[in-house]
């Protein structure tokens, strides 16, 4: 046994030489016990012959990392008995299950759709008011066939006067009739237009001084009548480089034998180069007229004028996502036959817009100029009390530089703000005429008429606009303009205000009632005071026209789709303000009438 244990001591280091996991089966255990018993039996038998040995361990065993081994994640088991996994086969049987649930079919929600508004091709309006005023309008559209139609528009507005403290007749009327014929086909559209107009006004704005007696007043005939005829045509092609052309001829005259002929022709060509569009406009503007006399002197040869302007305006339109640029120029050759003077002009025509924030903010600007033809008819449209002694010449607008922002603050509110700086040579200014003391021949020679003065003017303008669209039934628009003038030779910017403002309201109360309002404000203006004698080398005496506010309101009731009634009130504050010097307007004006729509 001692020998056995000695030998076992020799084997002990070998056990710890490499750490191992031992798996001892029952057979191995039985085999170990059997060997032990045999060795024990053998020892007893040979105990007398074996010598005792001594084993000396010189150094203790020190295992190293290299002596160890890693246990595999999936160790290999040497087992004589292994069983293979049985392959399982399975399948799913779908068995229908009876259901007693029946879904209810969905129904579309009901939408309250408004009744379609019937559109009529014709209407007639007739109204009467105080100051023996009358309003009449008639519009009719005849659809001859699928491509041709004829339109007719008649307008009449008149009053028999009655302004307080007026010494001369102050009645007026304004009548016009326009007829047009249009043909539309697949490739082109063409049409013609014919119109006539007749206006009657009175130079009733006598200055307070000098005072006239009844005999002198009775000798004045203040009535002035204007007559006009126009003839125009247009032609437009859809698939040609020659895109469109427009021609208009207008004759205008008055009761003092003044005559004016004005012809304007404008052909246009368009070319596409890649993604860009090149447009070229040609302009021919011919104006010829005469007045029987000049402004200051009674005995003088007739005042005649003739102007012929040739112009060409090429432009290149560039579209790039949110950016739109129009690069162009205008070139004019002007002929003044009356003064035997010819001039050559070049103007910029550049505009651009850039959308910064979708519909919220759009920046736009431009630098534009042009040659503007001033006519006798244009002067009458601005001020019907001008004298038939005007001196006319074209206005040379050197440039108009502007920059603005527009867009929507919300779905309800939109805005537009703009600032500009313009330079114009020979800009017309309306000035009150002086009274001719000797040989008063005409009704406009009593300081009660206006004429043109021309000057070189630079104008700074600020403009702002707000529009509210609360819904389809209510809209409100407001705008204001501020002007600052710098003149070359005139003392004041005669009859030009520094501030203008307006507001327009439209309200559909319900299906039957509707209302609206138009509010206007005009700032102070300056004019020549012809009641004070002008002293040489002294500033001209001036007068200041007060600012005024004009409030107009209308109310209507729609009886049915065809018949409606309305009431209009103008100048509801009742101020007899002066739009022009010595020309007070009518006070509160009320007019009521009826409108009827129909189809043939």
Instruction: Give 336-358 pLDDT, tens digit per residue.
Output: 988 888 999 999 999 999 999 88
Q: Are 350 and 326 in contact (CB under 8 A)?
A: yes
Cα distance between residue 173 and residue 200, in whole Å: 5
Beta strand spans in 358-473 (E): 361-372, 395-408, 413-432, 450-471
Decide: helix, strand or coil at residue 166: coil
Assess contact for 286 and 273: CB atoms under 8 A: no
433 C-beta neighbours (distance < 10 Å), count = 22
| pLDDT classification of 239: cutoffs 50, 70, 90 | confident
CA separation for the pair 196, 72 (Å, rounded): 112
pLDDT band at 580 (very low <50, low <70, confident <90, very high): very high
Q: Which residues pair with 141 in a beta bridge?
A: 151
- The per-residue pLDDT for 277 is 86
Task: Tell me how long the chain is.
Answer: 600
When the pLDDT of each residue in the chain is averaged and rounded to a whole number, the result is: 86
* CA 510/CA 514 separation, integer angstroms: 7
3-class DSSP assignment, residue 318: strand
**Which one, of 529, 449, 523, lies nearest residue 485 by Cα?**
523
Distance CA 124, CA 145 (A): 24
Q: What are the structure tokens assigned to 176, written together?
A: 């016009």
pLDDT digits (tens, 9 = 90+) for 253-303: 999 999 999 999 999 999 888 778 899 999 999 999 999 887 666 556 788
More confident: 91 or 544: 544
Report which of 454, 476, 480 is spatially closest to residue 467, judged by C-alpha positions: 476
Q: Is 304 within 8 Å of 338 (Cβ atoms)?
A: yes
Question: H helices within 18-58, ranges in order?
Answer: 26-45
Q: Is 302 helix (H, G, I), strand (E, B) or coil?
A: coil
Between CA 396 and CA 405, with CA 401 as vertex, the angle to 5 degrees is 145
350-381 per-position pLDDT tens digit: 999 999 988 899 999 999 999 999 999 999 99
Radius of gyration of the chain (CA): 51
**Strand, coil or helix: 78:** coil
Q: Higher-confidence residue: 166 or 53?
A: 166
Cβ contacts of 406-414, under 8 Å, gap ≥ 24: 406/362, 406/364, 407/357, 407/359, 407/360, 407/361, 407/362, 408/359, 408/360, 409/360, 412/468, 412/469, 412/470, 413/466, 413/467, 413/468, 414/466, 414/467, 414/469
Predicted local distance difference test score (pLDDT) of residue 9 = 41
Average pLDDT over residues 188-213: 93
SS (H, E, C) 96-129: CCCCCCCCCCCCCCCCCCCCCCCCCCEEEEEEEE
The two three-digit tokens of residue 163, written as one number: 């302004």
φ/ψ (deg, to 5) at 31:
-70, -35
pLDDT above 90 as % of the chain: 64
Q: What is the pLDDT of residue 387?
A: 94
Write down the pLDDT at residue 5. 39
Q: How far apart are the first and last CA of the chain?
A: 141
pLDDT per residue as tens digits for the range 81-128: 556 666 777 777 666 766 666 777 777 777 767 667 788 999 999 999
């Amino acid at each position: 046994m001692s020998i056995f244990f000695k030998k076992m001591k020799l084997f002990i280091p070998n056990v710890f030489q490499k750490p191992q996991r031992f798996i001892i089966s029952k057979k191995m255990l039985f085999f170990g016990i059997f060997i032990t018993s045999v060795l024990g039996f053998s020892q007893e038998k040979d105990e007398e012959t074996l010598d005792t040995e001594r084993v000396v361990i010189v150094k203790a065993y020190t295992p190293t990392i290299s002596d160890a081994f890693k246990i595999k994640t999936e160790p290999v088991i040497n087992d004589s008995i292994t069983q293979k996994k049985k392959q399982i086969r399975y399948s799913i049987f779908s068995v229908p299950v009876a259901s007693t649930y029946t879904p209810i079919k969905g129904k579309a929600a009901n939408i309250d759709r408004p009744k379609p508004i019937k559109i009529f091709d014709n209407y007639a309006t007739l109204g009467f008011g105080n100051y023996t005023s009358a309003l009449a309008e008639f519009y009719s559209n005849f659809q001859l066939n699928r491509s041709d139609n004829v339109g007719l528009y008649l307008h009449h507005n008149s009053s028999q006067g009655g302004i307080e403290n007026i010494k001369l007749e102050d009645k007026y009327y304004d009548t016009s009739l326009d007829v047009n014929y249009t043909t539309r086909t697949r490739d082109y559209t063409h049409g013609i237009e014919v119109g006539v107009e007749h206006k009657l006004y009175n130079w009733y704005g006598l200055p307070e001084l000098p005072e006239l007696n009844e005999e002198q007043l009775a000798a004045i005939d203040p009535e002035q009548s204007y007559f006009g005829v126009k003839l125009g045509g247009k032609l437009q092609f859809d698939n040609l480089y020659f895109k469109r052309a427009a021609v208009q001829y207008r004759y205008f005259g008055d009761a003092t034998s003044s005559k004016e002929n004005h012809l304007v022709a404008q052909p246009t060509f368009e070319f596409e180069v890649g993604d860009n569009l090149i447009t070229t406009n040609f302009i021919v503007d011919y104006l010829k007229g005469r007045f029987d006399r000049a402004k200051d002197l009674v005995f003088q040869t007739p005042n005649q004028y003739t102007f012929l302007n040739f112009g060409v305006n090429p432009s290149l339109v560039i579209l790039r996502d949110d950016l739109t640029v129009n690069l162009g120029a205008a070139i004019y050759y002007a002929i003044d036959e009356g003064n035997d003077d010819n001039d050559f002009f070049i103007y910029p025509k550049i505009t651009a817009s850039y959308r910064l924030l979708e519909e919220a903010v759009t920046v736009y600007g431009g630098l534009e100029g042009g040659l503007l033809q001033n006519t006798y008819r244009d002067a009458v449209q601005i001020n019907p009390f001008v004298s038939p002694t005007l001196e006319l010449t074209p206005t040379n607008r050197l440039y108009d530089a502007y920059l603005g922002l527009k867009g929507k603050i919300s779905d309800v509110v939109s805005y537009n703000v703009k600032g500009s700086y313009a330079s114009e040579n020979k800009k017309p200014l309306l000035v009150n005429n002086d009274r001719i003391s000797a040989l008063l021949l005409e009704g406009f020679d009593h300081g009660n008429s206006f004429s043109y003065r021309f000057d070189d003017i630079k104008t700074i303008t600020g403009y702002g606009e707000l529009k509210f669209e609360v819904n389809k039934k209510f809209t409100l628009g407001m705008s204001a303009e501020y002007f600052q003038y710098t003149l070359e030779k005139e003392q004041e910017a005669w009859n030009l205000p520094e501030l203008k403002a307006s507001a327009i309201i439209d309200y559909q109360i319900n299906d039957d009632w509707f209302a609206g309002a138009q509010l206007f404000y005009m700032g102070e203006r300056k004019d020549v005071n012809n009641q004070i004698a002008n002293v040489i080398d002294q500033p001209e005496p001036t007068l200041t026209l007060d600012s005024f506010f004009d409030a107009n309101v209308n109310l209507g009731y729609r009886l049915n789709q065809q018949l409606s009634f309305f009431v209009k009130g103008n100048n509801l504050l009742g101020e007899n303000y002066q739009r022009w010097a010595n020309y007070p307007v009518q006070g509160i004006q009320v007019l009521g009438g009826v409108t009827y729509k129909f189809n043939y």
